[in-house]
Chains A and B, each alone.
Chain A
């Protein structure tokens, strides 16, 4: 009955590799998000999709590419991983409207060696 799920939970990889994180929500929401949380717990939005269309794209390196095959899924692909990409990545979903709660996944801890 998980509302927002992410896989994998942990990801350890070498610099220069390409990796993907998957996210799925079963809440019927039309909007999904990716956030990056750094080691100081600072949470910053990266991308947002509404009904499979990109609506928010913060200043994120183009090595990061989100893909939304349908409105229940938003995957994050990262090319040429760098040490600074190490963080916890959270997926979230909501209905698109001001004041609506975002529901968060459990996070994916990415460690780049």
Chain B
């Protein structure tokens, strides 16, 4: 079975600093990988997805993620954090007809 592990349930960065949210996946076949964001009291919204094209995937709001097969990783980054980035972030992997979500990382932005 596929799975994803997100390192750190809470991450705090200063406004303007680099954002790095870590995700490692477990998959026996080339995976489809996703990052979703959930703002308070809202549903999930897709930030970006990897579907075996380019290994560096650019998403919305300045986020990007790099697929590294050798490290089984799909970390999410943003060069400069903004206060509006404060949210819950979920890494996910596609398994057949369903998507398996990680446990989420809460991103806090410090002024």
Asked whether, in the complex, the Cβ of B104 is within 8 Å of the Cβ of A41, the reply is yes
Asked whether, in the complex, the Cβ of B97 is within 8 Å of the Cβ of A104, the reply is no
Bitwise, A40-52 to B at CB < 8 A (1) or not (0) is 1111110010100
CB-defined contacts of B67 to chain A, threshold 8 Å:
none
Asked whether, in the complex, the Cβ of B104 is within 8 Å of the Cβ of A43, the reply is yes
> In the bound complex, how far is the Cα of B106 from the Cα of A92, in angstroms?
22
> In the bound complex, how far is the Cα of B88 from the Cα of A98, in angstroms?
24
* Minimum CB–CB distance for B44 against chain A, Å: 4
* Interface flag for B42 (CB, 8 Å): yes
* Minimum CB–CB distance for A12 against chain B, Å: 16
CB-defined contacts of B111 to chain A, threshold 8 Å:
none
Specify the chain A residue showing the minimal Cβ separation from B29: A98
Among candidates A44, A92, A99, residue contacting B49 with C-beta atoms closer than 8 Å? A99
Bitwise, A90-103 to B at CB < 8 A (1) or not (0) is 10100010110111
CB-defined contacts of B58 to chain A, threshold 8 Å:
none
In this complex, which of A33, A43, A45, A104 has the most chain B Cβ atoms within 10 angstroms of its Cβ?
A43
Q: State the interface size on chain B (CB cutoff 8 A).
A: 23
* Minimum CB–CB distance for B88 against chain A, Å: 6
* Minimum CB–CB distance for A109 against chain B, Å: 8
* Interface flag for A4 (CB, 8 Å): yes
* Minimum CB–CB distance for B40 against chain A, Å: 11
CB-defined contacts of A102 to chain B, threshold 8 Å:
44, 46, 99
User: B-contacting residues of A (Cβ < 8 Å)?
Assistant: 4, 31, 33, 40-45, 48, 50, 55-56, 90, 92, 96, 98-99, 101-107
Query: Can you show 23 pairs from A to B with CB atoms below 8 A apart?
Result: A4-B43, A40-B103, A41-B38, A41-B88, A41-B103, A41-B104, A42-B101, A42-B103, A43-B44, A43-B90, A45-B98, A45-B99, A48-B97, A50-B97, A90-B44, A99-B32, A99-B51, A99-B94, A101-B34, A101-B46, A102-B46, A104-B43, A107-B41
User: A-contacting residues of B (Cβ < 8 Å)?
Assistant: 32, 34, 36, 38, 41-46, 49, 51, 88, 90, 94, 96-99, 101, 103-104, 106
